[in-house]
Structure 1
Amino acid sequence: MLKTATFQIQTVKTPADNELFLDVPKLIYAGDPHWVQPLRSSIAKNFAPDNPFLQYGKLQQFIALSTGDRPQAIGRIVAAVNNRLIERENQNVGVFGFFECVEDFEVAQALLNAACQWLKEQGMTVARGPIDLSTHNNCLLLIDGFDSEPIMMMPYNPPYYPKFMDKDGWQKAKDAYAYKFGLKQDFPGEFERGYRIASKSGVTFRPMRLKGKEFEEDCIKLYHLFNRAFVNNWSSSPRTEAEFLAEAKELQSIVDPDIFPIAECDGEMVGFFMAIPDYNVPLKQVNGKLDWLGILKLLWYRRKIDRVRVIAFCSLPEYRRKMVPLAVVHLGLQGANKQNKRYEWAELSWVYEDNDASRKLIEAGGAKIYKTYRIYEKAL
């Protein structure tokens, strides 16, 4: 691998290498008041032998190490081939993700080159990222809106990352936005009218169920609805039902059913509004570890959660004329404003720049763009 007078790039081969890989963000974000350290275990599981991704893809981790008597990990990146994405797009597109780097362009360029070279050796003709294996995981690079901490499951990075990408010749593939809107306000009457119209047309509404078999039944229905409603999402690769259920169970304990209404018609799930409390508020106090002290901190600081992230809302196409999208938004906002709730504002993220239908509905409610993200591409 590459070696210079000040650093070297090498593949991750041993458990010790992997520990260095996982340690990189602590160096990059030391002293950054907005960074929220993700749970170390949630990152490590991506590289475990039992990761379902390895059944249909492959990956390679790289780290940058400083030279000298005490080598230090100063950067990292992962290159990956997601065969489901290749089948979906009918082109040999590889991805890079988990990118972190000190403010040194030569190190960043060397890491990006290592990832691209590996992808090229696998027969890829296009590199795209940052995408952590798939867009169902962490993806996107923050390019505007560095003045606040990220909402749960949204990326955050130093302002110099996009400058490095531009300097290395990467091109914009697509931008995405995060919208912010206050919850303690009067919302346009169209949303409530949409709810009345949907109800009169035979659509019924209820909260997401969170216990036992009922939770699993709702998740299976959500899985099939996701597959129908978001089948054409850009750069998205399909998940199995087992993968979807595993991801859902990780979030089960933090779901607030008041902000997760579901629409049904004749027993079929036809729409939903999916929002979760921003657990980044307590996670910021945990420092990446849920040991006994971390759990106590999580339980204590979760009482201070005052915001939510709206991940998605949708309905099947044939129910849009019955105003189901407006109805589930109305119910989600109504739930967030119940008397016992502390929610002050919400982020709706992410929304691709060319998703005109969703953007129109979001902006009709008074939401404003406050963060911009980007996915890049480069021909190999």
Structure 2
Amino acid sequence: MISVVPVRSTADWKDFAAVYATVYADDPHGLPDEPIDIGATLRSPATELRGVRMTQAFVALDGLRPVGRVAAIHDTAFTSYTGESIGFFGFYECVDDYTVAEALLDAASSWLAERGLATMAGPFSPSMFYSAGVLVDDADKLPLIGMPHNPLYYAVQLEKWGMAAIKDFYSYRFDEPYELFCSPTFARHKQLYDRVSARSEVTFRTMSYRTLRRDAEIVRELYNTTFRDFWGFSPLSRAEMWDLLKMMLPVLDRELTLLAEYRGKPVAFFMGIPDANQAMARASRHRTRLMRDLSTLRTVKGRKRTQVVDGVRVDMMLVDKDCPDRSVASQIVVEMWRRVAERGYTRMEGAPVLDDSEWMRGSVLSRVQMSPYRTYRIYSREIARG
């Protein structure tokens, strides 16, 4: 018999975490350890975040065996900013049994309805800024760092429960993009770019560890300016920006954290994240979590890193629309391509990307016929208010 209980005790949290191993035990591309830090993002978030993001985790048990989990999330910063009565669900994992899925989604929606919310959307784990959506295309690929990976039956479970797709977003894979840009195919575009960049006053620098908080604040302000009219947006707080940055710091390649400045003023940001999941998959041969983590970091930071980690995920292309130099977006993209090649990576994957995003419209690679490499989906359903 399936029972769903709210997560309150240390034992409950152990059951919540144990679901991951159950679901991905037979997944050839499942990672040995859960990529999301449940402790930092859900169980014990920063004090500032606890004040605006109320959560309740649930775990489904088949007897004593954990077989599913979900978290209901009331982001009061989002509802205050948008005025929309929407609650979220996230951290969703479930065995291939609709009875379990139904019980979990019922529990999450009931908790949100009791808080007066009219709609449940997701998955968001715990927000759009961290991880969002479920993978809905061919899952026979190693997960991309920072992006969802799940069994394909998740979409079936959500739709059977009555959820409807409200937004799709994608990843696009580019093999050796700078080499392609410098090829005869793009000779005219390369010549134009060289002329424009030669007379531009835009300069580039990387984020500095010595001034990390100041640079993080620059990125946060650019994010809030760039994505102000973006679907699902609510302003990013200092606490959330710093929280995510701390999570990413161990695997970041600082040379791929690009800040563009125009006459000394920050006007754009673009980030490349080495695909540490490749190193994590290799580290699965170690028996303990500590050894797997150390092996992953040693690979990602080592001089021979590109023998294992050949890819980079690019994300957070932030551009000040008021920058007088309209070429800044193109310049920061090409500079990223150049640095990715210089650092020895051969694969670049842009995610998450909406088809109508400025990143795709502004990229010369949008002129190459290609289709998304992966597709992710967000769902929504109205719920009865409590």
**Aligned residue for 1:116?**
109
Within the candidate set 125, 145, 163, 2:118 is matched to 125
How many Å apart are 1:36 and its aligned residue? 2.2
Determine whether 1:60 maps to 2:64: no
Within the candidate set 315, 322, 338, 2:319 is matched to 315
**What does 1:269-280 align with in structure 2 at a 5 Å threshold?**
269-280=266-277
How many Å apart are 1:293 and its aligned residue? 5.5
**What does 1:269-308 align with in structure 2 at a 5 Å threshold?**
269-286=266-283, 290-292=289-291, 294-300=293-299, 303=305, 304-308=308-312
Range moving further from structure 2, 190-199 or 14-23: 190-199
**Aligned residue for 2:349?**
347
Range moving further from structure 2, 217-226 or 283-292: 283-292
Q: Does the 8 A contact of 1:259 with 1:331 survive in 2?
A: no
How many Å apart are 1:246 and its aligned residue? 3.1
Q: For residues 46-83 of structure 1, what are the alpha-carbon distances to aligned partners after superposition, in whole Å with 9 as ceiling and x for unaligned?
A: 2334534211121111111002xxx1000000101001
How many Å apart are 1:127 and its aligned residue? 0.5
1:318 is paired with a residue of what secondary structure? Answer: coil
**Aligned residue for 2:199?**
200
Determine whether 1:372 maps to 2:375: yes
**Aligned residue for 1:46?**
41
Q: Does the 8 A contact of 1:195 with 1:330 survive in 2?
A: no
How many Å apart are 1:265 and its aligned residue? 1.2
Q: Give the letter for the 1:364 counterpart.
A: S
Q: Does the 8 A contact of 1:195 with 1:324 survive in 2?
A: no
Identity %: 28
**Moved segments of 4+, more than 6 Å:** none
**Aligned residue for 2:180?**
186
Q: For residues 345-372 of structure 1, what are the alpha-carbon distances to aligned partners after superposition, in whole Å with 9 as ceiling and x for unaligned?
A: 111000124x343332344264641111
1:88 is paired with a residue of what secondary structure? Answer: helix
Distance 1:16 1:346 in 2: 41
Q: Does the 8 A contact of 2:313 with 2:348 survive in 1?
A: yes
**Aligned residue for 1:358?**
359
Determine whether 1:7 maps to 2:2: yes
TM-score calculated relative to the size of structure 2: 0.88
How many Å apart are 1:9 and its aligned residue? 1.1
TM-score calculated relative to the size of structure 1: 0.89
Q: Does the 8 A contact of 2:251 with 2:297 survive in 1?
A: no
How many Å apart are 1:260 and its aligned residue? 2.9
Q: Give the letter for the 2:209 counterpart.
A: K
How many Å apart are 1:301 and its aligned residue? 6.5
How many Å apart are 1:41 and its aligned residue? 7.7
RMSD: 2.3
Within the candidate set 242, 245, 248, 1:245 is matched to 242
Structure 2: which 5+ runs fail to align? none
Q: Give the letter for the 2:51 counterpart.
A: Q
**Aligned residue for 2:81?**
88
**Aligned residue for 2:333?**
329
Q: Give the letter for the 1:335 counterpart.
A: R
Distance 1:348 1:297 in 2: 22
How many Å apart are 1:85 and its aligned residue? 1.1
How many Å apart are 1:225 and its aligned residue? 1.2
Range moving further from structure 2, 235-244 or 273-282: 235-244
- C-alpha change, 1:289 and 1:301, in structure 2 (3 Å) is farther
2:8 is paired with a residue of what secondary structure? Answer: coil
- C-alpha change, 1:319 and 1:150, in structure 2 (3 Å) is same
Range moving further from structure 2, 238-247 or 151-160: 238-247
Q: For residues 258-286 of structure 1, what are the alpha-carbon distances to aligned partners after superposition, in whole Å with 9 as ceiling and x for unaligned?
A: 33332101221101221111111112244
Q: Give the letter for the 2:376 counterpart.
A: Y
Q: For residues 306-327 of structure 1, what are the alpha-carbon distances to aligned partners after superposition, in whole Å with 9 as ceiling and x for unaligned?
A: 0000013232113375211110
- C-alpha change, 1:296 and 1:174, in structure 2 (3 Å) is closer
Distance 1:331 1:40 in 2: 29
Q: Give the letter for the 2:236 counterpart.
A: R
**Aligned residue for 1:219?**
216
Determine whether 1:267 maps to 2:249: no
Number of equivalences: 367
**What does 1:8-23 align with in structure 2 at a 5 Å threshold?**
8-23=3-18
Distance 1:202 1:329 in 2: 16
Determine whether 1:99 maps to 2:92: yes
